[in-house]
Chain A
Amino acid sequence: AQSVSQHNHHVILSEAASLELGCNYSYGGTVNLFWYVQYPGQHLQLLLKYFSGDPLVKGIKGFEAEFIKSKFSFNLRKPSVQWSDTAEYFCAVSFYGGSQGNLIFGKGTKLSVKP
């Protein structure tokens, strides 16, 4: 079965530190990849998405992600985090044309940024 793994459950960083959150998926076919963010008390928002083309994708608020097909990975990065980045981050994968017809989410990574 297709699955999405986020290896870090909770990450704690100080402001200005660099961030990298891991995401791996299990599927050899074509995928569309997403990162969503859920700020405290708010709904899920799309940070960035990858469909095709340049594997380095830039999203909102200075986030970027790199698709490495050979590693089945789509890691999220930010060079310098801010306190306002404190949130839960979800990686999601759409297995293109798959019968499930839905996004499969990882379990999420909670990011806490200390001021």
Chain B
Amino acid sequence: EAGVTQSPTHLIKTRGQQVTLRCSPISGHTSVYWYQQALGLGLQFLLWYDEGEERNRGNFPPRFSGRQFPNYSSELNVNALELEDSALYLCASSEDRDYGYTFGSGTRLTVV
């Protein structure tokens, strides 16, 4: 079974630019979660999508947004990039939110 796949693996952007990260969940998983893993801060919850709808978002500004497509894949968009957005962005999927997630390898975003 293919795992959760994320693209690209690495990205370098300039302050003020916009970026789109992509995630394909495990087949059969309808929920997709996005987390930010910044140095020393652990995993911070960003967004949860299920069945094409945004179900919840974490404590991040509106310039972090996303969507989920009918095939359950998802995009995370970050506008007006700031230096502190530099982090590993992790996508996870699950069949049922209470039973744990399977994570992708992440996208390493560096903002210069």
Contact = CB atoms under 8 A, between A and B. Distances in A.
Interface of A: 32, 34, 36, 42-46, 49, 51, 90, 94, 96-97, 99-108
Nearest to A96: B98
B104 A32 contact: no
B48 A44 contact: no
A100 B58 CA distance: 9
B106 interface: yes
B43 interface: yes
Interface string B33-50: 101000011110100101
A101 B100 contact: no
Contact of B99 (A44, A51, A100): A51
A49 to B, nearest CB: 5
B106 A43 contact: yes
A44 B55 contact: no
A45 B42 CA distance: 15
Contacts of B100: 32, 34, 46, 49, 94, 103
A100 to B, nearest CB: 6
- What does DSSP make chain A's interface, helix, strand, loop or mixed? loop
Nearest to B42: A107
30 contacts: A32-B98, A32-B100, A43-B103, A43-B104, A43-B105, A46-B100, A49-B99, A94-B97, A94-B98, A96-B98, A97-B98, A100-B45, A100-B56, A101-B56, A101-B97, A102-B33, A102-B45, A102-B48, A102-B56, A102-B58, A103-B33, A103-B45, A103-B97, A103-B101, A105-B42, A105-B45, A107-B40, A107-B41, A107-B42, A108-B42
A63 to B, nearest CB: 15
Interface string B76-107: 00000000000000101000011111111110
A106 B104 CA distance: 19
Contacts of B90: 43-44
Contacts of B101: 103
The residue among A42, A96, A100 with the most chain B CB atoms within 10 A of its own CB is: A100
Given A102-B48, A108-B42, A44 B103 contact: yes
B85 to A, nearest CB: 19
